[in-house]
Amino acid sequence: MRRLLVAGNWKMNASKVMLNELLSGIAENAPQQTDVVVFPPAPYLLAAADKLQGSSVKFGGQNLNANDSGAYTGEVSASMLVDCGCEAVLVGHSERRTLFAESDADVLAKTEAALAAGLVPYVCIGETLAERDANKTEAVVEQQINAVLNGLTVQQLAKCVFAYEPVWAIGTGKTASPEQAQQVHAFIRGLIATKDEELALNSHILYGGSVKASNAKELFGQKDIDGGLVGGASLKAEEFLGICNPA
């Protein structure tokens, strides 16, 4: 049985005041039946560690460099994230792929670095609107996920979380319909099953793209949707908690 998992990707939004208020609200009210993870920007991770001490809410980084240390100005390594108390890290978010030219090979290298440090990589995949309109959704998703399926062992993949985020639904208010999302999630689970059936049964596949408290229940009610990776709606405690507790 896969537990509901809800993750909040704050992207480049935070301040000390916001962190205090948001994490207090989430930590005090997170439902026990849901695994809750937040991804604040890197400069706030130590403060998040402090704030979430003793809470069931976990936190992680939004990005990492595949190297462990050295002359990489501005970059953050997996071991630094672990040192700050992180348990997870986002890898291959579409904004990283598009704005920072991250390739499938980069995504694999970062996923390996995260796993080697003991972090849970949240591997993000998804098609653009142009790709969907050209009927390339499955081809794009397959290529992106195969980069990790072919590069990692079943044991490594068992420690990953997957997130399907159609690029056209991110920050646009245009959510994929539950049926549209379920169709792609089932396809992704099928691809994982070609590697290992038990792995596919146990893997968490999150949906991301304009998830709100008002649409979470229907999305998460789909057979192959195991929770959400939430952007904008994760910046307000009440809205985020509504997503964490969609019953």
Concerning whether 93 is annotated as a catalytic residue, the answer is yes
Half-sphere exposure of 234 (CA within 13 A, CB side): 28
Shortest Cβ contact with ligand 13P: which residue? Answer: 231
Alpha carbons 18 and 21: distance in angstroms, whole number:
5
Q: Hey, is 165 helix, strand or coil?
A: coil
Q: How far is the CB of 205 from ligand 13P (least distance, A)?
A: 14
Q: How far is the CB of 44 from ligand 13P (least distance, A)?
A: 17
Residue 38, classified by CB atoms within 10 Å of its CB into exposed (0-12), middle (13-18) or buried (19+), is: buried
Q: How far is the CB of 125 from ligand 13P (least distance, A)?
A: 12
- The single residue among 14, 27, 229, 241 that binds ligand 13P, judged by CB under 6 A, is 229
Instruction: Tell me 123's DSSP state.
Output: E
**β-pair type (205-208, 88-91):** unpaired
- The single residue among 230, 237, 241, 244 that binds ligand 13P, judged by CB under 6 A, is 230
Concerning whether 185 is annotated as a catalytic residue, the answer is no
Q: Find out whether 187 and 149 touch, Cβ atoms under 8 Å.
A: no
Q: How far is the CB of 60 from ligand 13P (least distance, A)?
A: 12
Alpha carbons 63 and 41: distance in angstroms, whole number:
9
φ, ψ for residue 98 (rounded to 5)?
-80, -50
- The single residue among 109, 152, 161, 211 that binds ligand 13P, judged by CB under 6 A, is 211
- The single residue among 6, 9, 63, 213 that binds ligand 13P, judged by CB under 6 A, is 9
Nearest CA to 113 among 78, 89, 144, 85?
Answer: 78
**Binding status of residue 165 toward ligand 13P by CB under 6 A:** yes
- The single residue among 40, 121, 166, 208 that binds ligand 13P, judged by CB under 6 A, is 208
Residues of span 69-98 touching ligand 13P by CB under 6 A: 93
Alpha carbons 225 and 133: distance in angstroms, whole number:
23
- The single residue among 60, 61, 121, 209 that binds ligand 13P, judged by CB under 6 A, is 209
Q: Which residues bind ligand 13P (CB under 6 A)?
A: 9, 93, 165, 170-171, 208-211, 229-233
Show which residues are catalytic.
93, 165
